[in-house]
Amino acid sequence: MNTIFQDVIPPPSKVPRFLGYGLAIASLIWVLRDFHLVKALHEFASVHYEWVVLGMAFDVISYVVQGLRWKLLLTPFGKVKLTHAIRAVYAGLFANLVFPLRPGELLRSYLLSDTEGITLGRVLGSVGVERLVDLVIATSGLAIVSLTVDLGRFRKLADTLGIATLVLLAIVLLLILYLELKLGNEEASGGKPRHIPGKAMAALHGLHAMGTAPSFYTAVLTSLLMPFCQMLGLWAMMQAYGLHLPALAAVVVLLVINLGVSLPNAPANVGSYQFFCVVGLSVFRDPAGNALVEKSTATGFSIFAFLALTFPFVFLGFAALVRSGLSLRSMREKVSHLPSEVPR
Protein backbone atom coordinates (compact mmCIF):
# COMPACT_ATOMS: atom_id res chain seq x y z
CA MET A 1 0.00 0.00 0.00
CA ASN A 2 0.76 3.48 -0.77
CA THR A 3 0.17 6.30 1.62
CA ILE A 4 -0.70 9.97 0.87
CA PHE A 5 2.82 11.67 2.13
CA GLN A 6 5.55 9.85 0.11
CA ASP A 7 8.91 11.49 -0.79
CA VAL A 8 9.35 12.21 -4.47
CA ILE A 9 13.16 11.99 -4.46
CA PRO A 10 15.05 9.69 -2.05
CA PRO A 11 17.69 11.69 -0.13
CA PRO A 12 21.28 10.76 -1.04
CA SER A 13 22.36 10.76 2.61
CA LYS A 14 22.39 7.45 4.48
CA VAL A 15 21.06 9.11 7.64
CA PRO A 16 17.36 8.86 6.60
CA ARG A 17 17.89 5.18 5.79
CA PHE A 18 19.37 4.44 9.22
CA LEU A 19 16.63 6.53 10.79
CA GLY A 20 13.98 4.59 8.87
CA TYR A 21 15.30 1.21 9.96
CA GLY A 22 15.67 2.48 13.52
CA LEU A 23 12.06 3.68 13.63
CA ALA A 24 10.90 0.37 12.13
CA ILE A 25 12.72 -1.66 14.78
CA ALA A 26 11.50 0.59 17.62
CA SER A 27 7.94 0.39 16.30
CA LEU A 28 8.02 -3.40 16.10
CA ILE A 29 9.41 -3.66 19.63
CA TRP A 30 6.53 -1.54 20.97
CA VAL A 31 3.88 -3.31 18.87
CA LEU A 32 5.06 -6.83 19.76
CA ARG A 33 5.37 -6.07 23.46
CA ASP A 34 2.67 -8.04 25.31
CA PHE A 35 1.70 -9.69 22.02
CA HIS A 36 0.02 -13.08 22.49
CA LEU A 37 1.07 -15.30 19.61
CA VAL A 38 -1.26 -18.21 20.42
CA LYS A 39 -4.24 -15.88 20.63
CA ALA A 40 -3.29 -14.29 17.33
CA LEU A 41 -3.03 -17.70 15.64
CA HIS A 42 -6.56 -18.51 16.82
CA GLU A 43 -7.76 -15.19 15.42
CA PHE A 44 -6.00 -15.88 12.11
CA ALA A 45 -7.72 -19.26 11.92
CA SER A 46 -11.13 -17.60 12.33
CA VAL A 47 -10.64 -15.12 9.49
CA HIS A 48 -13.45 -14.90 6.91
CA TYR A 49 -11.62 -15.11 3.62
CA GLU A 50 -14.48 -13.84 1.47
CA TRP A 51 -13.96 -10.48 3.19
CA VAL A 52 -10.20 -10.76 2.64
CA VAL A 53 -10.67 -11.17 -1.12
CA LEU A 54 -13.05 -8.22 -1.18
CA GLY A 55 -10.58 -6.07 0.76
CA MET A 56 -7.74 -7.01 -1.60
CA ALA A 57 -9.89 -6.14 -4.60
CA PHE A 58 -10.75 -2.67 -3.26
CA ASP A 59 -7.09 -1.94 -2.49
CA VAL A 60 -5.94 -3.04 -5.94
CA ILE A 61 -8.66 -0.90 -7.56
CA SER A 62 -7.50 2.14 -5.58
CA TYR A 63 -4.21 2.11 -7.47
CA VAL A 64 -5.99 1.69 -10.79
CA VAL A 65 -7.75 4.93 -9.82
CA GLN A 66 -4.34 6.48 -9.07
CA GLY A 67 -3.19 5.56 -12.57
CA LEU A 68 -6.30 7.19 -14.05
CA ARG A 69 -5.73 10.35 -12.02
CA TRP A 70 -2.11 10.48 -13.13
CA LYS A 71 -3.15 10.21 -16.76
CA LEU A 72 -5.59 13.10 -16.30
CA LEU A 73 -2.99 15.32 -14.62
CA LEU A 74 -0.55 14.77 -17.48
CA THR A 75 -3.13 15.50 -20.19
CA PRO A 76 -1.72 19.02 -20.92
CA PHE A 77 1.64 17.46 -21.85
CA GLY A 78 0.52 14.55 -24.00
CA LYS A 79 -1.88 11.67 -24.41
CA VAL A 80 -0.87 9.13 -21.78
CA LYS A 81 -2.04 5.53 -22.15
CA LEU A 82 -3.98 4.43 -19.08
CA THR A 83 -2.36 0.97 -19.13
CA HIS A 84 1.10 2.55 -19.07
CA ALA A 85 0.18 4.78 -16.13
CA ILE A 86 -1.26 1.87 -14.13
CA ARG A 87 1.74 -0.32 -14.96
CA ALA A 88 4.14 2.38 -13.78
CA VAL A 89 2.18 2.80 -10.52
CA TYR A 90 2.35 -0.94 -9.78
CA ALA A 91 6.05 -1.08 -10.65
CA GLY A 92 6.65 1.81 -8.25
CA LEU A 93 4.74 0.00 -5.52
CA PHE A 94 6.95 -3.04 -6.01
CA ALA A 95 10.07 -0.87 -5.66
CA ASN A 96 8.67 0.48 -2.39
CA LEU A 97 8.28 -3.10 -1.15
CA VAL A 98 11.92 -3.90 -1.89
CA PHE A 99 13.80 -0.68 -1.07
CA PRO A 100 13.70 1.70 1.91
CA LEU A 101 12.63 5.36 1.69
CA ARG A 102 10.06 4.63 -1.05
CA PRO A 103 12.00 5.24 -4.28
CA GLY A 104 8.99 3.93 -6.20
CA GLU A 105 7.73 7.47 -6.85
CA LEU A 106 10.90 8.28 -8.73
CA LEU A 107 10.97 4.94 -10.55
CA ARG A 108 7.37 5.16 -11.75
CA SER A 109 8.00 8.70 -12.95
CA TYR A 110 10.99 7.54 -14.96
CA LEU A 111 9.06 4.63 -16.49
CA LEU A 112 6.15 6.82 -17.60
CA SER A 113 8.46 9.54 -18.86
CA ASP A 114 10.34 6.98 -20.91
CA THR A 115 7.26 5.35 -22.46
CA GLU A 116 5.19 8.49 -23.07
CA GLY A 117 7.91 10.90 -24.16
CA ILE A 118 7.13 13.47 -21.45
CA THR A 119 10.07 15.10 -19.69
CA LEU A 120 10.95 13.64 -16.30
CA GLY A 121 10.63 17.06 -14.68
CA ARG A 122 7.00 17.39 -15.79
CA VAL A 123 6.15 13.86 -14.67
CA LEU A 124 7.73 14.49 -11.26
CA GLY A 125 5.77 17.73 -11.08
CA SER A 126 2.56 15.78 -11.58
CA VAL A 127 3.57 13.49 -8.69
CA GLY A 128 4.02 16.58 -6.53
CA VAL A 129 0.52 17.75 -7.50
CA GLU A 130 -0.79 14.29 -6.57
CA ARG A 131 0.73 14.62 -3.12
CA LEU A 132 -0.76 18.09 -2.64
CA VAL A 133 -4.24 16.90 -3.65
CA ASP A 134 -3.93 13.87 -1.37
CA LEU A 135 -2.80 16.09 1.50
CA VAL A 136 -5.82 18.36 1.07
CA ILE A 137 -8.17 15.36 0.98
CA ALA A 138 -6.55 13.78 4.05
CA THR A 139 -6.70 17.04 6.00
CA SER A 140 -10.33 17.54 5.05
CA GLY A 141 -11.04 13.97 6.14
CA LEU A 142 -9.43 14.59 9.52
CA ALA A 143 -11.49 17.74 9.97
CA ILE A 144 -14.74 15.93 9.18
CA VAL A 145 -13.87 12.95 11.36
CA SER A 146 -12.96 15.20 14.31
CA LEU A 147 -16.58 16.43 14.37
CA THR A 148 -17.86 12.96 15.26
CA VAL A 149 -14.89 11.19 16.86
CA ASP A 150 -12.75 12.32 19.78
CA LEU A 151 -9.26 12.10 18.29
CA GLY A 152 -7.64 12.60 21.68
CA ARG A 153 -3.88 12.91 21.25
CA PHE A 154 -4.26 13.44 17.50
CA ARG A 155 -6.40 16.57 17.73
CA LYS A 156 -3.48 19.01 18.05
CA LEU A 157 -1.64 17.18 15.29
CA ALA A 158 -4.71 17.36 13.07
CA ASP A 159 -5.08 21.09 13.73
CA THR A 160 -1.41 21.71 12.92
CA LEU A 161 -1.64 19.65 9.74
CA GLY A 162 -4.76 21.55 8.71
CA ILE A 163 -3.11 24.95 9.13
CA ALA A 164 0.03 23.84 7.28
CA THR A 165 -2.06 22.46 4.42
CA LEU A 166 -4.08 25.66 4.09
CA VAL A 167 -0.86 27.72 3.94
CA LEU A 168 0.67 25.42 1.33
CA LEU A 169 -2.50 25.41 -0.75
CA ALA A 170 -2.72 29.21 -0.60
CA ILE A 171 0.88 29.51 -1.84
CA VAL A 172 0.22 27.18 -4.77
CA LEU A 173 -3.00 28.98 -5.74
CA LEU A 174 -1.24 32.36 -5.58
CA LEU A 175 1.54 31.06 -7.83
CA ILE A 176 -0.98 29.79 -10.38
CA LEU A 177 -2.88 33.10 -10.21
CA TYR A 178 0.36 35.05 -10.68
CA LEU A 179 1.27 33.08 -13.79
CA GLU A 180 -2.29 33.36 -15.13
CA LEU A 181 -2.20 37.16 -14.81
CA LYS A 182 1.34 37.44 -16.16
CA LEU A 183 0.68 35.30 -19.22
CA GLY A 184 -2.68 36.98 -19.81
CA ASN A 185 -1.16 40.48 -19.73
CA GLU A 186 1.57 39.46 -22.18
CA GLU A 187 -0.98 38.03 -24.62
CA ALA A 188 -3.23 41.11 -24.27
CA SER A 189 -0.33 43.42 -25.08
CA GLY A 190 0.25 41.55 -28.34
CA GLY A 191 3.86 40.85 -27.49
CA LYS A 192 5.61 37.57 -27.30
CA PRO A 193 5.74 36.01 -23.87
CA ARG A 194 8.98 36.97 -22.20
CA HIS A 195 11.43 34.24 -21.48
CA ILE A 196 11.46 33.47 -17.78
CA PRO A 197 14.84 32.00 -16.89
CA GLY A 198 15.38 29.30 -14.36
CA LYS A 199 14.19 25.74 -14.03
CA ALA A 200 12.07 26.74 -11.05
CA MET A 201 9.95 28.98 -13.25
CA ALA A 202 9.73 26.23 -15.85
CA ALA A 203 8.33 24.01 -13.12
CA LEU A 204 5.80 26.71 -12.24
CA HIS A 205 4.69 26.85 -15.87
CA GLY A 206 4.09 23.10 -15.68
CA LEU A 207 2.09 23.58 -12.49
CA HIS A 208 0.09 26.33 -14.20
CA ALA A 209 -0.63 24.07 -17.17
CA MET A 210 -1.89 21.26 -14.93
CA GLY A 211 -3.85 23.51 -12.57
CA THR A 212 -5.71 25.37 -15.31
CA ALA A 213 -6.44 22.41 -17.62
CA PRO A 214 -10.09 21.16 -17.70
CA SER A 215 -8.81 17.65 -16.92
CA PHE A 216 -7.49 18.88 -13.55
CA TYR A 217 -10.98 19.09 -12.05
CA THR A 218 -11.77 15.56 -13.19
CA ALA A 219 -8.48 14.44 -11.65
CA VAL A 220 -9.40 16.03 -8.31
CA LEU A 221 -12.80 14.31 -8.29
CA THR A 222 -11.10 11.04 -9.23
CA SER A 223 -8.74 11.52 -6.27
CA LEU A 224 -11.67 11.07 -3.88
CA LEU A 225 -12.15 7.51 -5.13
CA MET A 226 -8.66 6.40 -4.13
CA PRO A 227 -8.93 6.83 -0.33
CA PHE A 228 -12.55 5.68 -0.55
CA CYS A 229 -11.47 2.36 -2.08
CA GLN A 230 -8.62 2.03 0.44
CA MET A 231 -11.03 2.71 3.29
CA LEU A 232 -13.38 0.00 2.01
CA GLY A 233 -10.43 -2.37 1.70
CA LEU A 234 -9.34 -1.77 5.29
CA TRP A 235 -12.92 -1.99 6.57
CA ALA A 236 -13.33 -5.33 4.77
CA MET A 237 -10.17 -6.56 6.52
CA MET A 238 -11.68 -5.51 9.85
CA GLN A 239 -14.79 -7.53 9.09
CA ALA A 240 -12.65 -10.49 8.05
CA TYR A 241 -10.74 -10.37 11.34
CA GLY A 242 -13.86 -10.04 13.45
CA LEU A 243 -13.42 -6.37 14.35
CA HIS A 244 -17.00 -5.26 13.87
CA LEU A 245 -16.29 -1.56 13.94
CA PRO A 246 -18.15 1.05 11.88
CA ALA A 247 -16.78 2.22 8.55
CA LEU A 248 -15.77 5.46 10.28
CA ALA A 249 -13.18 3.46 12.24
CA ALA A 250 -11.55 2.40 8.97
CA VAL A 251 -11.40 6.07 7.92
CA VAL A 252 -9.63 7.08 11.14
CA VAL A 253 -7.18 4.16 11.07
CA LEU A 254 -6.38 4.77 7.39
CA LEU A 255 -5.72 8.47 8.03
CA VAL A 256 -3.46 7.69 11.00
CA ILE A 257 -1.53 5.08 9.00
CA ASN A 258 -1.07 7.38 6.02
CA LEU A 259 0.12 10.17 8.28
CA GLY A 260 2.50 7.88 10.14
CA VAL A 261 4.17 6.22 7.18
CA SER A 262 5.20 9.62 5.81
CA LEU A 263 8.23 9.31 8.09
CA PRO A 264 11.45 7.66 6.79
CA ASN A 265 10.64 4.00 6.49
CA ALA A 266 12.01 0.53 6.02
CA PRO A 267 10.93 -1.40 2.90
CA ALA A 268 7.15 -1.86 2.62
CA ASN A 269 6.62 0.36 5.70
CA VAL A 270 7.34 -2.61 7.96
CA GLY A 271 7.06 -1.59 11.58
CA SER A 272 5.55 1.84 11.05
CA TYR A 273 2.43 0.37 9.41
CA GLN A 274 1.83 -1.94 12.39
CA PHE A 275 2.57 0.80 14.92
CA PHE A 276 0.20 3.38 13.47
CA CYS A 277 -2.50 0.80 12.79
CA VAL A 278 -2.47 -0.13 16.49
CA VAL A 279 -2.41 3.54 17.51
CA GLY A 280 -5.31 4.32 15.17
CA LEU A 281 -7.41 1.52 16.64
CA SER A 282 -6.67 2.80 20.15
CA VAL A 283 -8.69 5.96 19.39
CA PHE A 284 -11.96 4.07 19.80
CA ARG A 285 -12.97 3.60 23.42
CA ASP A 286 -16.07 2.76 25.42
CA PRO A 287 -17.76 5.26 27.81
CA ALA A 288 -15.52 4.04 30.62
CA GLY A 289 -12.40 4.94 28.63
CA ASN A 290 -11.36 1.37 27.83
CA ALA A 291 -10.12 0.54 24.34
CA LEU A 292 -12.72 -1.26 22.20
CA VAL A 293 -9.90 -3.30 20.65
CA GLU A 294 -7.25 -4.52 23.08
CA LYS A 295 -3.62 -4.04 22.08
CA SER A 296 -2.85 -7.71 21.45
CA THR A 297 -5.82 -8.06 19.08
CA ALA A 298 -4.95 -4.77 17.39
CA THR A 299 -1.39 -6.00 16.88
CA GLY A 300 -2.62 -9.25 15.35
CA PHE A 301 -4.91 -7.32 13.03
CA SER A 302 -2.11 -4.94 11.99
CA ILE A 303 0.06 -7.89 10.95
CA PHE A 304 -2.83 -9.63 9.19
CA ALA A 305 -3.97 -6.51 7.30
CA PHE A 306 -0.41 -5.66 6.29
CA LEU A 307 0.22 -9.12 4.85
CA ALA A 308 -3.16 -9.38 3.13
CA LEU A 309 -3.03 -5.92 1.55
CA THR A 310 0.62 -6.24 0.51
CA PHE A 311 0.39 -9.74 -0.99
CA PRO A 312 -1.32 -8.79 -4.29
CA PHE A 313 1.27 -6.12 -5.08
CA VAL A 314 4.16 -8.57 -4.82
CA PHE A 315 2.84 -10.28 -7.95
CA LEU A 316 1.17 -7.33 -9.68
CA GLY A 317 4.18 -5.11 -9.07
CA PHE A 318 6.68 -7.70 -10.26
CA ALA A 319 4.60 -8.36 -13.40
CA ALA A 320 4.42 -4.62 -14.08
CA LEU A 321 8.17 -4.33 -13.61
CA VAL A 322 8.87 -7.11 -16.10
CA ARG A 323 6.40 -5.61 -18.60
CA SER A 324 8.27 -2.32 -18.26
CA GLY A 325 11.48 -4.02 -19.42
CA LEU A 326 13.27 -4.02 -16.07
CA SER A 327 14.64 -6.93 -14.09
CA LEU A 328 15.26 -6.91 -10.35
CA ARG A 329 18.93 -6.17 -10.99
CA SER A 330 18.27 -3.38 -13.46
CA MET A 331 15.63 -1.92 -11.14
CA ARG A 332 18.21 -1.77 -8.33
CA GLU A 333 20.69 -0.02 -10.62
CA LYS A 334 18.07 2.39 -11.91
CA VAL A 335 16.88 3.28 -8.40
CA SER A 336 20.46 3.99 -7.29
CA HIS A 337 21.20 6.23 -10.30
CA LEU A 338 17.88 8.01 -10.77
CA PRO A 339 18.38 10.75 -8.14
CA SER A 340 21.33 12.11 -10.12
CA GLU A 341 19.21 12.24 -13.29
CA VAL A 342 16.45 14.35 -11.75
CA PRO A 343 16.35 17.92 -13.13
CA ARG A 344 17.70 20.37 -10.55
Kindly give, in sequence order, each residue whose CB lies less than 8 Å from that of residue 330, ignoring residues fewer than 6 positions away.
none
Give the pLDDT band (50/70/90) at residue 154.
low
In this predicted structure, what is the pLDDT of residue 157? 64
What are the DSSP calls for 207-218, one per residue? Answer: HHHHHHSHHHHH
pLDDT at 26 exceeding the cut of 50: yes
pLDDT at position 203 is: 66
What is the distance between the alpha carbons of residues 72 and 95, in angstroms, rounded to a whole number?
Answer: 24
Q: Show me where the domains of the chain are located.
A: 15-137+216-341
For residue 46, the tally of other CB atoms under 10 A from its CB is: 10
* pTM for the full predicted model: 0.84
Question: Average pLDDT for residues 110-137, to the nearest whole number?
Answer: 88
User: Which pLDDT does position 151 carry in this prediction?
Assistant: 67
Residue of 51 and 209 predicted with greater confidence: 51
pLDDT tens-place string over residues 287-325: 777 888 999 999 999 999 999 999 999 999 999 999 988
Nearest to 231 by CA among 217, 213, 249, 204: 249
Burial 86-96 (b: 16+ CB within 10 A, else e): bbbbbbbbbbb
Q: What mean pLDDT do residues 264-277 have?
A: 88
What is the percent of the chain with per-residue pLDDT over 90, rounded to a whole number? 43
